[in-house]
Amino acid sequence: MKRREYSIASSQAVNPTTVALMIVVVSWVDPKGRDRFGQATRYLSSLPVGSKVTASVKPSVMKLPTLDTAPLIMAGLGTGLAPFRAFIQYRAMQKAQGKDIGSILLYMGSRHQREEYLYGEEWEAYQDAGVITLLGRAFSRDQKQKIYIQDRMRETVSDIIQAYIKDEGSFYLCGPTWPVPDVTEVLEEAIREEGRLSGKKVDGRKEIERLKEAGRYVWRFIRCILKL
């Protein structure tokens, strides 16, 4: 079996001896009507508790800002939420130690809340504890009109303006490629709107490129078997 890469869904600072992974067993029906399954995800899900697995850890492009007070704006689809769970665990630890932490805006997208609200109770507990500032949930198939992650972001654009632009936060997107243009457009709209309110004309696209170079817009691709 070839090597598979998964994002770690736990903070090493909080859980130094364990690693959590957010994995969904991939399954589909091929053109001949046969049930097919992802080789690695099925293997991992079928392992007995206590089994040994060969693994290695490599650095990720997803890194927290140097300042704990810097806001985080995070958007994840499906298992793309994995690195954000690690981020939030770390920030929750900082808060529990009496340290100031920046605001956290967490946006998530999947099809059905009942089936795919990954770590839902945990996110809500963090929100109740004041760790997560805003929780934007987009379940595309739970209502007649589809709602996507960019829709939830657009509904709360004033919060994004405050956290991302005024308070100089960092934005992270993790998941498949298809939502990237729509999500980026919301950020460009926020940049232009903040400029308008400040009496300045700002090129949203150029500003996004500057933020990417500064490490304040980070995207990581994760293959996501979701038909939203």
pLDDT digits over 74-90, tens only?
999 888 899 999 999 99
Token pair 């632009």 is found at 165
Phi, psi of 193 (to 5 degrees): -65, -40
Please name the residues in contact with 197: beta carbons below 8 A apart, sequence gap of 6 or more.
Answer: none
Q: pLDDT category, 228, cuts 50, 70, 90?
A: very low
Specify the amino acid at residue 63: K
Question: Is CATH 3.40.50.2300 correct for 72-221?
Answer: no
Mean pLDDT to the nearest integer, 106-119: 80
| Chain segment 5-36, per-residue pLDDT in tens | 888 999 999 999 999 998 887 778 888 888 88
Please name the residues in contact with 39: beta carbons below 8 A apart, sequence gap of 6 or more.
Answer: 1
Count of positions (residues) in the chain: 228
The tokens describing 99, both together, are: 């340290």
Domain residue limits, the chain = 72-221
CA 200 vs CA 158, 194, 197: distances in Å:
17, 8, 8
Output the CA torsion 57→63→68→72 (10° steps): -130
Please tell me the pTM assigned to this model: 0.89
More confident residue, 183 or 4: 183
Please name the residues in contact with 49: beta carbons below 8 A apart, sequence gap of 6 or more.
Answer: none
* Percent above pLDDT 70 for the chain: 95
